[in-house]
Amino acid sequence: MKHLVGGISSAGPALPLLDGRAIYIDRAKGPYLWTDEGARMIDMALRFGAILLGHADPVVNSAIAEAVEKGSIPAFAHADEERAAEALSAPCGPLQSVIFTNFGSEAVHLAAVEPVR
């Protein structure tokens, strides 16, 4: 990891060693991870909640492939935004609107800092 600032780009280096060696993940499917040495293990963190459906879920992969095929249009409104917002807010009772953000700190800023202003 000599080409990474501080030798880290994820929480991986904070994990315990496996048989005296750092854990390097080669692939993932469903709830499982495989190391670069072929050892299979259960991913108990699921990317700290970001992968609730498991790794490489076929339905999610298909939707991603379809979206990529349509082209990247992040600067414009898209019909899928409204459908996704409706699906997210439907089971939430009084919560009837959502906002999509790029990362966690942006979400915290919009949810906690902006209302205070």
* Phi, psi values for residue 41, rounded to 5°: -145, 160
Reading the block at residue 103, the tokens are 């990362």
Report how far residue 49's alpha carbon sits from residue 93's, in angstroms, rounded to the nearest whole number.
Answer: 22
CA-based nearest residue to 55, from 38, 37, 41, 39: 41
CB burial string 72-82: b at 16+ within 10 A, e below: eeeeeeeeeee
Domain borders along the chain are: 1-72, 76-117
**How would you write the pLDDT of the chain (117 residues) with one tens digit per residue?**
677 776 666 666 667 777 888 788 899 999 999 999 999 999 887 766 667 888 999 999 999 999 889 887 777 888 888 898 999 899 988 878 888 888 888 888 888 776 666
The single residue listed with the structure tokens 């080409």 is 3
CA-based nearest residue to 100, from 19, 83, 113: 83
| 1-72: CATH architecture | Alpha-Beta Complex (3.90)
pLDDT for position 27: 95
